[in-house]
Amino acid sequence: MSESLAAAHGEQRGSELLATTLDRVFGAIGEAVHAHGGSVVSFAGDALACWFEGDAADHAVAAALEMQQLVASSGVVQIPGGDDIALGLKVGVAAGECTRVLVGDPDVRQFDVASGDAIDRCAEAEKVAVKGEVVVDERVEAALAGRLRSVEHRDGHAVATGLDRAPDRAPWPPLADADLPDGAFERWVQATVFERLTASDEPLLAEFRPVAPMFLGVDGIDHDRPEDVAELDRVVRETQAAVARHGGALLSVLAGDKGTYLVMSFGAPVTHGDDRRRAVAATQELQARFGDRVRIGVSAGRVFAGLFRGTVFSTYSFIGEVANTAARLMSAAQPGQALVAATVARDLDRRFRLDPLEPLRLKGIDGPVAVSELLPAGATSQAFSELRYELPLVGREREQLTIEAALEGARSGRGGFLSIVADPGMGKSRLLTAAIGDSLRRGFEVLAGECQPHGIASPYLPWQPIVHGLLGVPLGAPDGERIEALHAALRAGAPQAVPLAPLLGEALGLELPDTDITREMPAPVRRQVRHDVLAGVLMARAAAGPLCIVLDDLHWIDSSSADLLHDLTPTLAQLPVLVLAALRPLELGDRIELPAGDVVELAELLPEAAERLAVQLLAHLSGAPADPAQVGAVLERAGGNPFFVEELAREVSSGHATELPTSLEGLILHRIDQLAERQQRTVRMASIIGRRFQTDVLRGAYTDVLEQGELRDDLGGLADHGLVLLDTPEPDEAYLFRHALVRDVAYETLSFGLRERLHEQVARFLEEAVESPPVELLAFHYARTTNTDKEARYRRLAAERAIRAGAFVDAREHLDRAIEIITAREQTPAALADELQVQLLRGTTLQMLHGQSSPVAKVAYDRARELTRLLPPGPDTGRAVFGLWAYYLFQGQMGPAAELADEAVELTRHAPDPTLQVMAQLTVSQTHFWTGEFDKHEAATAAVYAGYDPELHETYVTQYTQNPRFTAASGNITAVWQLGRLDDALVELERARADAHALQHPFSLALVELNPSVLAYCRGLGHEDVQEAAERLLGVAGPIGNPVYVAWAQTNLGYAAVLRGEYDAGIAEIQQQLEVTTGMGAHMFDPVVASLLADSMRRAGRFDDGLAVLDEMTPAFAGGGRVTWACEHAKLRAELLLGRDPAATTEALALLDEAVAIARSHGTVGSELRAALIRAELLRQLGRDDWCDDLADALDRLPQGHDDPVPTAARTLLADGHHRPTAQPTTDP
């Protein structure tokens, strides 16, 4: 079962679940034993030994049968992703004489040991039994003759199935506290465990710890001989003393058919940091003391340690694979031999001599185990805080020079971004603090912020204190006072920005009501305007003198903060501002990309520098010159890790440790274990809240756990021990874990079950006691509980807030987890309604991240549509239909898109929602555009404009990913040109561009900028115009990250290169982007891309390649109903045929006739004129008298745009042919 639980939940969680299962099962078994007057004598992980005094065979068998019933009723242990495990029990019962003695030092701990012939026969009976059976030996069967019901005999034993005239229960009488003499309880419990049990109603004894377990087998003990019993007591006492000298604890003394063995722990319940070395040192001492009488196995790793208990018995122990490994190594060892696992050997220094052996195959352990034999001992060999440091920095001279150069550059007006990257313990925060001091000495003003683990989904969390400083808003003041200070700062420095104050609220951790200006702004616009305002604030503040902005723990930065950092970084080059950041390597992954700048990477200190650091620290801590022996000891263990050096120096100077820690985790845990029990509890409770914790939250959340009247003293004690430091004083008192690793270790020791409960307490306190608690923080805490309903709720709220802020990556993370929770529930109407909202938000988010043709977005919308059919009708159906319509439209599947557009319109008749009505008309207008029905397109576009409400801008964007006013304009601009009204198209383009710029909404700007490049192609403009249009689009599409629009911009840049004569490079770029959009399924743009690519091939003289492009792609356009560009494709095909073979006039003329006919049937005079011009030139070359008729007719029907290249060429051709005068433009170029 332990392996299955570990595989399903991980080793740590699996161990805890195993312990919980054992508590439940053995607790019930212990109650059955107690009810019949028996006692639990020993616990060995997966077995209990029980004792029934005197002639009590009937009570023993009755208890055994009850045990089987209890275990059978316990059901199964569920294993996620695997087969469930049915709980089973085997019971052996034997009767006879045996020995039961007390061994061990009563001043340390005593043990109750039962042994002898009856114990051995009981073990034999248990081996005969199979799961679910009770097997008794011959003596029990004889004692219960006539009463014992048995189904069979097996190997001299009887399988008992029942008991006639079962005895009445005879439980032990209650034991009052007054009946216990002083010290009666303490002698049975390890001292540290007893202290924790008596110090609190809820001792923190269930925890994960790095432990080195030792199993010691004692040979030659005959428990029936009094002299051997006395010898066992001597062995136990001497072992207790030896183990205690090395900081370990003897937890169990067990005797049975496997012999006598002792179980020791180094690291639980107290850690020393170097527990592996302590275990091996104790092993050497025990080997020397007992010689061939003992066999020893030692392993190391993390275990789940705590009380294993029921209502009538409990014992402190640990479980985990490392314990099983140590036990198996003991069994494999020869007399006098000690086998040490590789997990122990790698932490030992040269004072220990090891002989590597061939790997062993051990029962219950997967794979071979690397082991070494421990040989006899040989000769031995030779108020820090991240904010304030009392001693100078050591060993980072080269890195400091890099930082100094950056500061000097910034002071002279050439600012930038510099990051300090290092693994935990390498001193990045120490170097950062030194850089802060250097900047202050150079006249910089310093503003600092710190990222938090939960802050990944908390917009602008690290920037909040910085923005407070930039604006002069008092950090920590009441909200009203901060709001007034914000308005005062804006009135004084930028009066025009006062109406934009609500946009700065999020960057200050304030919620301000929207003004008329900000109310209609969608999230991307709000974000961009916010960043622009902050850039202005930064520039204004920098005008007063150089600034140093510090961002610590940048690996936990949220996407909004990262976006602000990216937006501000380009301006730094012109300002006296340096941004300094510290972060761990490889933890950002692909989530956040750092801005360009200098990077300082920290490695371990060189030996000379590490020695200087150790000498400096030891001298400072002791107040005397450093002891060379202590310096050597510190360096031998620490290497070049500066945090190790510092912590080891503290341990040596404090006099607490005779041996030095070798593991950072163990070192920190050791420091925690040295605290008073109350302070240990406080530091662990604080770790739940986070690296920074407010005293009021700590006090309020854990009123049932912490000593309220002593909390201030306890926090002061933690500060005195160097674990935390005061971050902000009263009234908003808050502390900071001195190092993130301190918090991590304190947190990781807590059991999963306890963490869940404590996180929920914090979350509930924040909900009830804090005004407008951050939903991201509530989501963070509830995500670490079993309260998935609350987690899903706050995940959705956090996602909505992230969408409004334009943080779509954060939104997706929240929504993915929310949907996982909701879909696991029973599918009630309420659950379906919750899922519908989340799926709609997921569709919105995924289309923004992956493009409207994204299959993953379609999955979300498909599910949303299915859910709307299961729920009462409402406007949410329209949202689902719109999302699917956008998918099919961008996929280029006009048939399904048209059907969905009709469905959207039909929905508005039953759900008169104004937003849905506008979006339904938008589906109609855009579908008609791509199917070439421009009269219907214009009518639907007019309906969109008529129903559009600027007040609903943010709703449009949040629910539908786009503003309908700009989407409609995007298609209409091209449609109006197709209808021959170029002037109207250009006016609409400029009006839409101005409106989008006024909103500063990037996605709306991207929609508007889609069309200038299309128009440039259709109008026959040069490479400068195409290049400018493409760069405009890329400038707005790039930051929002929509891959479809980025690919379209890159396509047009490729076409501009072709127009410049860079044929190979331009064609390669267009082909590459075609592969990109095809890979995304964004086939809506294929007709346009095919036109650009075919025309590029024509210009490059690659006529066959151009024809191949059209041969491959045109059938798909026609089959999908995308006929808007059919006229252009026929014209291009004719040009390519003539380029390949000038004699192919008949086929080319037929294609040009087709192109003109298509254009006329759709009323697209713009496209008709392009085809008619080529046709007229060809007819004139063929000597046809009617060559000019269609061209003149098309030119006569062109209402606007006479000075464009195409109509100008048409007029020139007609004039050259001495044709009748044609309509002239109002302004002759």
The pLDDT-based confidence of 386 (bands split at 50, 70, 90) is very low
Terminus-to-terminus CA distance in the chain, angstroms? 88
Mapped onto helix, strand or coil, the DSSP state of residue 103 is: strand
pLDDT surpasses 90 at 362: no
User: Mean of the pLDDT values across residues 1001-1019?
Assistant: 85
Structural contact between residues 329 and 337, judged by C-beta atoms closer than 8 angstroms = no
pLDDT tens-digit readout, 330-356: 999 999 999 999 988 876 765 688 899
Q: Which amino acid is at 148?
A: L
Beta bridge partners of 665: none
Domains 2-179 and 397-479+532-601 share a fold: no
**pLDDT score at 259:** 81
**pLDDT score at 917:** 93
Percent of the chain clearing pLDDT 90 (strictly above): 46
**pLDDT score at 78:** 64
pLDDT tens-digit readout, 685-708: 999 998 899 999 999 988 877 877
Provide the 10 A C-beta neighbour count for residue 212: 32
Q: Which amino acid is at 1095?
A: D
The pLDDT-based confidence of 172 (bands split at 50, 70, 90) is confident
Structural contact between residues 775 and 797, judged by C-beta atoms closer than 8 angstroms = yes
**pLDDT score at 445:** 93
Tell me, rounded to whole angstroms, the distance of Cα 235 from its chain centroid: 52
Superfamily the domain 189-374 falls into? Nucleotide cyclase, GGDEF domain (3.30.70.1230)
pLDDT tens-digit readout, 758-780: 999 999 999 998 777 889 999 99
Mean of the per-residue pLDDT values of the chain: 86
Greater model confidence, 1142 or 1123: 1142
pLDDT tens-digit readout, 1124-1134: 688 889 999 99
User: Mean of the pLDDT values across residues 827-837?
Assistant: 94
Least confident segment among 574-588, 951-965, 1030-1044, 1212-1226: 1212-1226
**pLDDT score at 1001:** 77
User: Mean of the pLDDT values across residues 364-390?
Assistant: 63
User: Mean of the pLDDT values across residues 1079-1083?
Assistant: 87
Highest averaged pLDDT of the listed ranges 17-21, 303-307, 392-396, 654-658: 392-396
Name 781's Cβ contacts closer than 8 Å, sequence gap at least 6: 454, 759, 760, 762, 763, 766
User: For 933, phi and psi rounded to 5 degrees?
Assistant: -95, 80
User: Mean of the pLDDT values across residues 782-806?
Assistant: 89
pLDDT tens-digit readout, 197-230: 776 655 566 777 889 999 999 998 887 788 888 8
Name 1091's Cβ contacts closer than 8 Å, sequence gap at least 6: 1017, 1125, 1128, 1129, 1132
pLDDT tens-digit readout, 141-150: 999 998 999 8
**pLDDT score at 85:** 73
Structural contact between residues 961 and 847, judged by C-beta atoms closer than 8 angstroms = yes
CA torsion through residues 279, 283, 289, 294, sign: positive
pLDDT surpasses 90 at 834: yes
Extract the tokens encoding 219: 């040979």
**pLDDT score at 661:** 46
Give the up-direction half-sphere exposure of residue 1067: CA atoms within 13 A in the CB hemisphere: 17
CA distances to 39, 144, 423, 616 from 36, in Å: 9, 16, 59, 67
pLDDT surpasses 60 at 381: no
Helix axes 523-542, 788-804, angle to 10 degrees: 70
| Secondary structure E strands in 342-442 | 354-356, 371-374, 416-421
**pLDDT score at 29:** 86
pLDDT tens-digit readout, 25-60: 778 888 899 999 999 888 876 788 899 998 999 999
397-479+532-601 to CATH, choices 1.10.357.10, 2.40.50.1020, 3.30.420.40, 3.40.50.300: 3.40.50.300
**pLDDT score at 306:** 80
Task: Calculate the dihedral angle through the C-alpha atoms of 997, 1000, 1004, 1010, rounding to the nearest 10 degrees.
Answer: 50
* Domain boundaries along the sequence of the chain: 2-179, 189-374, 397-479+532-601, 607-662
**pLDDT score at 1119:** 59
Tell me, rounded to whole angstroms, the distance of Cα 505 from its chain centroid: 26
pLDDT tens-digit readout, 947-965: 999 988 888 887 887 889 9
**pLDDT score at 718:** 92
User: Mean of the pLDDT values across residues 968-979?
Assistant: 89
Q: What is the DSSP string of 772-825?
A: S--HHHHHHHHTTSS-HHHHHHHHHHHHHHHHHTT-HHHHHHHHHHHHHHHHTS
pLDDT surpasses 80 at 738: no
pLDDT tens-digit readout, 874-898: 889 999 999 999 999 999 888 899 9
CA distances to 197, 199, 665, 683, 810 from 677, in Å: 10, 7, 19, 10, 40
pLDDT surpasses 90 at 791: yes
**pLDDT score at 1218:** 52
**pLDDT score at 6:** 56
Q: Which H helix or E strand runs over 262? A: strand 259-266
**pLDDT score at 463:** 93
Assigned fold of 2-179: Alpha-Beta Plaits (3.30.70)
Helix axes 775-782, 752-769, angle to 10 degrees: 160
Greater model confidence, 390 or 297: 297
Report which DSSP code applies to 554.
G
**pLDDT score at 533:** 92
The pLDDT-based confidence of 722 (bands split at 50, 70, 90) is confident
pTM of the model: 0.67
The pLDDT-based confidence of 621 (bands split at 50, 70, 90) is confident
User: Mean of the pLDDT values across residues 855-859?
Assistant: 94
**pLDDT score at 841:** 94
pLDDT surpasses 90 at 1120: no
**pLDDT score at 1121:** 58
**pLDDT score at 224:** 74
pLDDT surpasses 60 at 454: no
**pLDDT score at 1226:** 31
pLDDT tens-digit readout, 1011-1069: 888 888 888 899 999 999 999 999 888 877 788 889 999 999 999 999 999 999 999 99
**pLDDT score at 604:** 84
pLDDT tens-digit readout, 49-108: 899 998 999 999 999 999 998 888 876 666 555 567 777 889 999 999 888 889 999 889
**pLDDT score at 303:** 83
Looking at beta carbons, which pairs linking 138-141 to residues 24 or more positions away fall under 8 Å? 139/57, 139/94, 139/95, 139/96, 140/57, 140/60, 140/61, 140/93, 140/94, 140/95
**pLDDT score at 28:** 84
